[in-house]
Amino acid sequence: MMKHFGLLGLGLTLVMALAVIAPGYAMGPMDTAATSHHSRLAQQPLQVGMVLSITGSGKAYKISDQSTTQTASISLMVKVDRVSLGRALITVTSGSLTVGSDTMTVDSGRGIVNFHSDRMLLKVTVKGTDGTMMHLVLYGKVNGHVSAPIDTGAGFTVDFLKPQSKLVGKYFLEFPGTTVTRTS
């Protein structure tokens, strides 16, 4: 009887050893996974540290009466802070929004570009000529699918759409064909 328990114990020990060792063989070589991960990162459209210029013109629709419109333009400088698999977090460093003859300057802002869904979202605080702080939201669709790294001087276009794009409480904004260009 003790002999059977000894054989059972030996069998369980072998099964446990195989359970620990076998998954390591199933993973495959470690270098293959690391190499493919690095090659995917090398193919990101944006890289950390890139500086982008965002410029466009369009219309501002008064929220209380959308039949009242004015010309509008946007000019922003952004820096890429973080990149991960088709997404980039960006910081708005400077710029302005002009609606009619009123120009507001950028105080601060953050955003995200998602190349999987071809979307861009920016949330910016702007200062009016009278010193009041306002919130600017720009939500847009990236035109065409961008998958290759962007060179200096090259870029892509974004259609910032209304009513998602707005100067909160004042205007819905629309900037079709806004250019995003890498400056450095």
Q: What is the pLDDT of residues 114-140, one digit of tens each?
A: 988 999 999 999 999 899 999 999 999
Contacts made by residues 57-62, CB under 8 angstroms, sequence distance 24+: 57/175, 58/160, 58/173, 58/174, 58/175, 58/176, 58/178, 59/173, 59/174, 60/99, 60/100, 60/167, 60/171, 60/172, 60/173, 60/174, 61/162, 61/171, 61/172, 61/173, 61/174, 62/170, 62/171
Spatial distance between the Cα atoms of 147 and 108, rounded to a whole number of angstroms: 28
Q: What is the pLDDT of residues 12-21, one digit of tens each?
A: 555 555 554 4
Mean pLDDT to the nearest integer, 40-56: 82
E strands, the chain, where?
51-62, 69-84, 87-99, 102-114, 119-127, 133-142, 155-160, 166-167, 171-182
Instruction: For the chain, give the percent of residues with pLDDT over 90.
Output: 62
Tokens of 77: 């400088």
pLDDT tier at 9 (50, 70, 90 boundaries)?
low
Domain boundaries, the chain: 2-42, 51-182
Instruction: Give the lowest-confidence range in 56-65, 110-119, 149-158, 172-181.
Output: 149-158
Question: Is residue 163 reached through a cis peptide bond, with omega within 30 degrees of 0 on the bond before it?
Answer: yes
120 burial via Cβ count (<10 Å: 0-12, 13-18, 19+): buried
